[in-house]
Amino acid sequence: MALLGALCVSLNILGFTHRSLRALMNQFLDTDYSQNQMSYDLARLRVNGLIQRRPHTNSYTLTRDGLRVALFYTKVHNRLLRPLIAADAPPAPAELRQALKTIDNQIGNYINDAQLVITA
């Protein structure tokens, strides 16, 4: 999940590098994410068609399928798995829950209103 979340965060026109994605992984996991592990994960993502290497550079970009997979699994984690994991924790105050729900609804509305078209 952390790798897909890092891919979502690293979305930009210039792509991402081994180093930049590894730095994000270290932040997400709060552990040392080795260069070997990053190389392995990038190779698996490339073989499965989720990322592609930009010609004549050391950077990668997400493919259309890669973007869809990354967003889907990140949303599943954020909206389904995280609340289930936190079910045994005491609930937040009602005011805070309402504020967070409003923020989540607004983000969803912005995404829907933007109607972004993915081009390859």
- Long-range pairs for 71-78 at CB < 8 Å and ≥24 separation? 71/8, 73/1, 73/4, 74/1, 74/4, 74/5, 74/8, 77/1, 77/5
> Is 26 within the bounds of a domain?
yes
> Is 28 within the bounds of a domain?
yes
Q: Which residue has the higher pLDDT, 37 or 11?
A: 37
Express as a percent the part of the chain with pLDDT over 90.
Answer: 11
CATH code for position 50: 1.10.10
| pLDDT attached to residue 88 | 62
Give SS3 for 89: coil
> Is 32 within the bounds of a domain?
yes
> Is 25 within the bounds of a domain?
yes
| pLDDT attached to residue 12 | 63
> Is 45 within the bounds of a domain?
yes
Decide: residue 33, CB within 10 A, 0-12 exposed, 13-18 middle, 19+ buried: buried
> Is 109 within the bounds of a domain?
no
Taking the C-alpha atoms of residue 52 and residue 9, their distance in angstroms, rounded to an integer, is: 17
> Is 46 within the bounds of a domain?
yes
pLDDT tens-digit map of 58-102: 889 888 888 888 888 778 777 776 776 665 667 777 887 788 788
Q: Domains in the chain: how many in total?
A: 1
The overall average pLDDT reported for the chain is 79
| pLDDT attached to residue 36 | 93
Q: Residue 48: which domain range?
A: 2-64
pLDDT band at 105, cuts 50/70/90? confident
Give SS3 for 58: coil
Q: Rounded to the nearest 5°, which phi and psi values hold at 63?
A: -85, 175
> Is 33 within the bounds of a domain?
yes
| pLDDT attached to residue 120 | 43
pTM of the model: 0.60
